[in-house]
Amino acid sequence: MQSYSQRVRDSILPLSVGDTLPKAFEEWYFTGSTEDHEEPSETCELCGQDGLRYHFEISNRFTGRALQVGSHCILQFDVAVYDGSRRLTAKEAKKQLDRLTEQMRLDSCIKSLEALARAEHSNILDNALAYYRKNKKLTPKQAFVVFWRLRRNRIDHSPSFFNVTLRKKQHVTDLREMASDKVHFFWRALTSAQRKQAMRLGHQPPKE
């Protein structure tokens, strides 16, 4: 069986000028290009890890070759990440890649909401889309309607990518007064702190 480091070596050395891993990795940088494959179905072209949903493109400055990899490999091998002409520190690079992942998740939520707004002509869904674009969150009332209708219309979506706001008193009141089976529609979009809050308000977690 091929070892992890052997796999990395076999992927990167033929596409690089340098003949050792440290020399080769010096030549590579993150291009800023990302892709959301919408399912965890992709493979990291560097280390072979599969089950990836997001690809990040790295390129070699001398050979011009490119690889589609997971963000883990960019961080693991300290592949250069730039902000303009400045190379980011390891900590900044991680933050930047996290930010890009977060952006892809947001885009994926917006895409589902747009499909829903097209499928049904309703004010509440149009408003939910506008509210999400502005606040990157749904109110509890919007969350129930959105998840109910997304399921009903069989629109592909990732519930855990959505965010729900409980910042205003009204949101908490709405959550308390909502029937538990409605709350269960958006349970997976709640953070663990919000789930605890929902339980204090009298809701039980969904079964299964």
**67/166 with CB nearer Zn ion:** 67
DSSP state string for 39-84: SS-B--TTT----BSEEEEEEETTT--EEEE-HHHHHHTT-B-EET
Task: List residues near Zn ion by CB under 5 A.
Answer: 44, 46-47, 49, 70, 73
Cβ 64 to Zn ion shortest distance, Å? 21
Report the residue closest to Zn ion, judged by CB.
44
Is 29 in a helix, a strand, or coil?
strand
**73/175 with CB nearer Zn ion:** 73
Cβ 10 to Zn ion shortest distance, Å? 13
Taking the CA atoms of residue 184, residue 143, residue 36 and residue 80 in that order, the dihedral angle to the nearest 10 degrees is: -100
User: Which whole-number Å values give the CA distances from 51 to 42, 101, 164, 185, 204, in the listed order?
Assistant: 6, 15, 27, 26, 32
Cβ 151 to Zn ion shortest distance, Å? 34
**80/172 with CB nearer Zn ion:** 80
**100/117 with CB nearer Zn ion:** 100
Cα–Cα distance for residue pair 163/181, rounded to 1 Å: 19
**76/180 with CB nearer Zn ion:** 76
Cβ 45 to Zn ion shortest distance, Å? 8
Cβ 161 to Zn ion shortest distance, Å? 22
- Confirm if 105 and 158 have CB atoms less than 8 A apart: yes
Q: What are phi and psi of 78, to 5 degrees?
A: 55, 45
